[in-house]
Amino acid sequence: MDERLIAENLGRSGSHLLFAGQDVPALAVQYGTPLYLMDEDCIRARCRTYRSAVEAFARPGRILYASKAAAFLQMFRIAAEEGLSADVVSAGELYTAYKAGFPMENVWFHSSNKTDEDIAFAMEHGVGLFIVDNFEELEAIERIASERGTRQRILLRLTPGIDPHTFDAVATGKVDSKFGFGMETGAADQAVRRALAAPHLLLGGFHCHVGSQVFDSDVFLRSASILFAFMAKVRSQYGYTADQLDLGGGYGVRYLAGDPIPDYAASIREIGAHIDALCQGFDYPAPEISLEPGRSIVGDAGLTVYTVGMVKRIPNVRNYVSVDGGMTDNIRYALYGAPYTVLPANRMDEASEMLCTVVGRCCESGDVIQPDVMLPDSTCRGDRIAVCTTGAYHYSMASNYNRLPRPPIVMLRGGTSYVAVRRESLDDLLQCDQ
Ligand SMILES: *Cc1c(COP(=O)(O)O)cnc(C)c1O
């Protein structure tokens, strides 16, 4: 067993890496590099796992694909076909969903700073609901709904004060957070009062999102407990019973062989049982529970393929292997030191004995894909390098720094492949220049 093959959709044939059963170096020849590959069968299987897990709840739940993980037309089409709803955080994501023909009543609008234009645009396009983050937004939605003569459904985003024991940079449920109404500060209570008093708002219930790259169900169970206690208090004080409870996203995926193998279905079953117990304990009618996975829908469905341009050996210091992409298609190591499994896609049969740092082609010393990687000593210009688990927060965080065109997204499905997002051309880079 080759422990570098960290996901079921990775394999090996002779010296070549396989992804979703297909030859990675051959795909690199066919489509060019840098190249984002996405395993559509894996994405669909993950969607089904999630959906069937929440459909088994006492009151069937809802899965929203957190589209910020990877937002492009075909991804919204796949999510819609698999019966998922979708989270968006901007007019751009919402417009992409709309253009993909996504049922807009199943699109929910997040973000900690929605402009008046965003709010009006989303209402015009029939957004399902807004997850309200702050008082300014509460007032803006009330005002815009009033101007439009409608009543807008909302959830309130609460901050339960839980540290999910992950990276600080992606821990959003703590008290010190730009997101949501603090529960300990009294802001949450005040938001409920204002929402209930607003004639053009319809309060559906509550939302919280505690963090990201979470492997432990405990985080979700604890936030559900805290939110139920709050909901019970709100019911006794204001006579308001919530119909919806959204526990956010955050399930982890494997970046390294040492990461746990997640069992999403088992964890969601635990959440379901816990919700049942809370409903009984508080004598509370079961709300519709929703979850918002992003990373765990697309993360390990993605693989990035590069071509090596140079190998620089600085004796007693470091070896650099430079690839034809970089922080423009993968900013995550530069941003928060994210770990990756890096594979020699055309030298899988050779021993990996060269300790090196894999860097990109951008004019930034911080343009590092991954330090301290082991690759074959024979690695040279023209070789293909694959970086695993790049389906989430790679394409969606990509930039044109140094005027590098963004790579295409090629979907792999049932042994075939097709382009879902074409490679940017040099002329695409000039499109907005006057
Ligand atoms: C980012 C985010 C998600 C998705 O998180 P993942 O870790 O990708 O599952 C879900 N909900 C909210 C509010 C988010 O900000």
Is the sign of the CA dihedral 297, 16, 307, 407 positive or negative? negative
Residue type, 255: Y
Question: Considering 42, 356, 363, 380, which one is annotated as catalytic?
Answer: 363
- Is residue 295 in contact with ligand 1, taking CB distance under 6 Å? yes
State the distance from the centre of ligand 1 to the C-alpha of 66, rounded, in angstroms. 6
Alpha helices in 56-186 (DSSP H): 73-81, 91-99, 116-124, 135-148
E-strand ranges in 129-249 read: 129-132, 152-159, 181-182, 201-207, 244-246
The tokens for 358 are: 């894999």
Residue nearest to atom 15 of ligand 1 (CA): 209
Q: Write down the domain spans for the chain.
A: 10-39+299-430, 110-293
pTM (two decimals): 0.96
Which residues face 412 on adjacent strands?
39, 417
State the distance from the centre of ligand 1 to the C-alpha of 97, rounded, in angstroms. 17
What pLDDT, on the 0 to 100 scale, is given for residue 164?
64
110-293, CATH topology level: TIM Barrel (3.20.20)
- Is residue 296 in contact with ligand 1, taking CB distance under 6 Å? yes
Report residues of the chain scoring pLDDT below 70. Answer: 163-175
Give me the half-sphere count of Cα atoms (radius 13 Å) on the Cβ side of residue 218. 6
CA distance 379 to 323: 12
- Is residue 294 in contact with ligand 1, taking CB distance under 6 Å? yes
Please choose from 65, 220, 292 the residue to mutate so as to test ligand 1's pocket, defined by most ligand atoms within 8 A of CB.
292
What pLDDT, on the 0 to 100 scale, is given for residue 373?
98
The tokens for 347 are: 């030298």
CA distance 246 to 251: 14
Distance linking the first and last C-alpha atoms of the chain? 56
Q: Burial, 199: exposed, middle or buried (Cβ in 10 Å; 0-12, 13-18, 19+)?
A: exposed
Residue nearest to atom 10 of ligand 1 (CA): 249
CA angle at 243 for the pair 230 and 87, rounded to the nearest 5°: 95
State the distance from the centre of ligand 1 to the C-alpha of 294, rounded, in angstroms. 6
**Is 380 labeled as catalytic in the residue annotation?**
no
Residue nearest to atom 3 of ligand 1 (CA): 249
Which residues face 358 on adjacent strands?
321, 370
Residue 168 is classified by DSSP as G
- Is residue 114 in contact with ligand 1, taking CB distance under 6 Å? no
Atom index in ligand 1 nearest the CA of residue 207 equals: 13
The owner of tokens 């990877």 is 70
What pLDDT, on the 0 to 100 scale, is given for residue 211?
83
State the distance from the centre of ligand 1 to the C-alpha of 65, rounded, in angstroms. 9
Helix, strand, coil shares, percent, the chain, to 5: 35, 25, 40
The owner of tokens 């807004």 is 130
Give me the half-sphere count of Cα atoms (radius 13 Å) on the Cβ side of residue 44. 13
The owner of tokens 């010393």 is 365
CA distance 343 to 4: 8
- Is residue 249 in contact with ligand 1, taking CB distance under 6 Å? yes
State the distance from the centre of ligand 1 to the C-alpha of 249, rounded, in angstroms. 4
Residue range 348-364, pLDDT digits in tens: 999 999 999 999 999 99
Q: Are 162 and 223 in contact (CB under 8 A)?
A: yes
Residue nearest to atom 7 of ligand 1 (CA): 250
Please choose from 50, 63, 84, 87 the residue to mutate so as to test ligand 1's pocket, defined by most ligand atoms within 8 A of CB.
87
Q: What is the CATH number of domain 10-39+299-430?
A: 2.40.37.10
CA distance 249 to 234: 24
- Is residue 391 in contact with ligand 1, taking CB distance under 6 Å? no
Residue range 12-26, pLDDT digits in tens: 999 999 999 999 999
Q: Nearest 5°: phi and psi at 10?
A: -100, 140
